[in-house]
Chains A and B, each alone.
Chain A
C-alpha cells in the first residue's frame, strides 16, 4: 500500500521570503501522480500543483514549484515570495496512475504554514 509522509507539522515564513515544505512517499508503482493541496481556514481544499511521475521536469505554477526526486521518493513544495494569503494547511497527496476502482487520493497528515507580516 502507498503511504505519504509529511514530517513538518508546522512551518513559519516571513512575508516575501521563500519556504519549502517536505513530503516523502512510498510506492512500488512506476506511474502515478503527486499533488500539493492547500486548505485555508475556510476549509475548502484547493489544488496548488500536480506532478506526473513520468515527467522529469518539475512542475511550476507561478510562485509555487516542486522538487520531484523519483528515485528518492521525495516531492517538496517551494513557495517563493510568500504572501499572507498563503497561510494554510498544505497536504501532499498521491494517486495511482490508473484511477477508478484502483484507488483515490492518499494524503499526508499536512503541514500548517504560518506567514508572518
Chain B
C-alpha cells in the first residue's frame, strides 16, 4: 500500500508569484486535508477536500485555494505569495471525512518565499 506522497520536496519562489503543491492520497482514501506548518510551530489547518468538494476551511485567505481530482489526489494553490507563506505544507489523507478516520500525513513540501 503506497503512502501519502507530496511534490515537490522543496520549492523557492519570490514574493508575488504563484505556486502549486501536489499531494497523492493513500490508496482507498477519499479525503485530503492541507496544513501549513511555520518554523517552530504546530501545523495549522488550511482546508479539507472530500469527494472533490471543499468541505471545511481554516482561517486562511482566498488566495489559498485547492482542487481534488477524481482519483482523490489534490493540489494546493497559493497566489500572490507573501514572505509569511514560507512554511512546510503538509497534506494528510483519510478514508472519510469523519473524525474517527485516521489522517495519514505526507512528508511535506518546504516552500521558501524570498
Bind each other: yes
List residues of A whose CB falls within 8 A of some B CB.
Answer: 4, 32-33, 42-47, 50, 91, 93, 95-110
The reply to whether A101 and B107 contact each other, CB–CB distance below 8 Å, is: no
The reply to whether A105 and B43 contact each other, CB–CB distance below 8 Å, is: yes
The reply to whether B105 and A44 contact each other, CB–CB distance below 8 Å, is: yes
| Interface contacts beyond A42-B107, A50-B102, A91-B42: sample of 20 additional A-B pairs, CB < 8 Å, sorted by A | A32-B99, A33-B99, A43-B107, A44-B106, A44-B108, A45-B90, A45-B105, A46-B105, A93-B42, A97-B99, A98-B98, A99-B100, A100-B97, A100-B98, A101-B55, A104-B35, A104-B58, A105-B33, A106-B45, A107-B43
A-B contact pairs, 26 of them (CB 8 A): A33-B100, A42-B107, A44-B107, A45-B92, A46-B105, A47-B102, A50-B102, A91-B42, A95-B99, A96-B99, A98-B98, A98-B99, A99-B98, A99-B99, A100-B50, A100-B55, A100-B98, A101-B48, A101-B56, A102-B56, A104-B58, A105-B35, A105-B45, A107-B44, A108-B42, A109-B40
Judged by a CB distance under 8 angstroms, whether B2 is at the interface is no
> For chain B, what secondary structure do more than half of its interface residues adopt (helix, strand, loop), or is it mixed?
loop
Judged by a CB distance under 8 angstroms, whether B7 is at the interface is no
Measured CA separation A103–B33 after assembly (Å): 10
Q: Given A33-B99, A42-B107, A96-B99, are A103 and B45 neighbors across the interface (CB < 8 Å)?
A: yes
Contact with A along B48-72 (1 / 0, CB 8 A): 1010000110100000000000000
Judged by a CB distance under 8 angstroms, whether B101 is at the interface is yes
Distance between B94 CB and nearest chain A CB, rounded to angstroms: 9
Give the total of B residues in contact with A, Cβ under 8 Å: 27
CB-nearest residue of chain B to A106: B45
Judged by a CB distance under 8 angstroms, whether B103 is at the interface is yes
The interface residues of chain A lying within 8 Å CB-to-CB of B58 are 104
Distance between B97 CB and nearest chain A CB, rounded to angstroms: 4
The reply to whether B56 and A100 contact each other, CB–CB distance below 8 Å, is: yes
Distance between B29 CB and nearest chain A CB, rounded to angstroms: 14
CB-nearest residue of chain B to A31: B99
Measured CA separation A46–B90 after assembly (Å): 12
